[in-house]
């Protein structure tokens, strides 16, 4: 995860992930209550390295969970957004 500025000057996080086997990848971002706030990835991938921009526009400070599901693989990471 790296922070960078988008073209409009607003900060965004570049979140990278690796896909080991070809198939559908679903990445969701949920808040502390479990409500889905974003689905940045929902498509098929070939094996390789990928990334997506996660913009915090409209989100309040707090803890968010980023969950990646690909086949039988599931992993969740925590992001803490500080204003």
Residue 53 is predicted with a pLDDT of 84
* 24's tokens: 């559908």
Task: Please indicate, yes or no, whether the overall pTM of this predicted structure exceeds 0.95.
Answer: no
Using the Cα atoms of residue 64, residue 36, residue 58 and residue 16 in order, give the sign of their dihedral.
Answer: positive
What does the pLDDT look like over 24-63, one tens digit per residue?
999 999 999 999 999 999 999 999 999 988 877 788 889 9
How many other β-carbons are positioned within 10 Å of the β-carbon of residue 32? Answer: 9
- Residue 45's DSSP bridge partners are 23
CA dist 25 and 18 (Å) reads 10
């Amino acid at each position: 995860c790296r922070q960078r500025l988008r073209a409009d000057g607003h900060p965004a996080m570049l979140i990278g992930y690796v896909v080991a086997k070809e198939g559908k990848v679903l990445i969701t971002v949920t808040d502390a209550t479990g409500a889905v706030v974003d689905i940045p990835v929902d498509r098929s991938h070939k094996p390789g390295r990928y990334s997506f921009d996660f913009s915090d526009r409209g989100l309040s400070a707090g803890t968010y969970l980023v969950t990646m599901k690909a086949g039988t693989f599931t992993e969740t990471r925590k992001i803490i957004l500080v204003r």
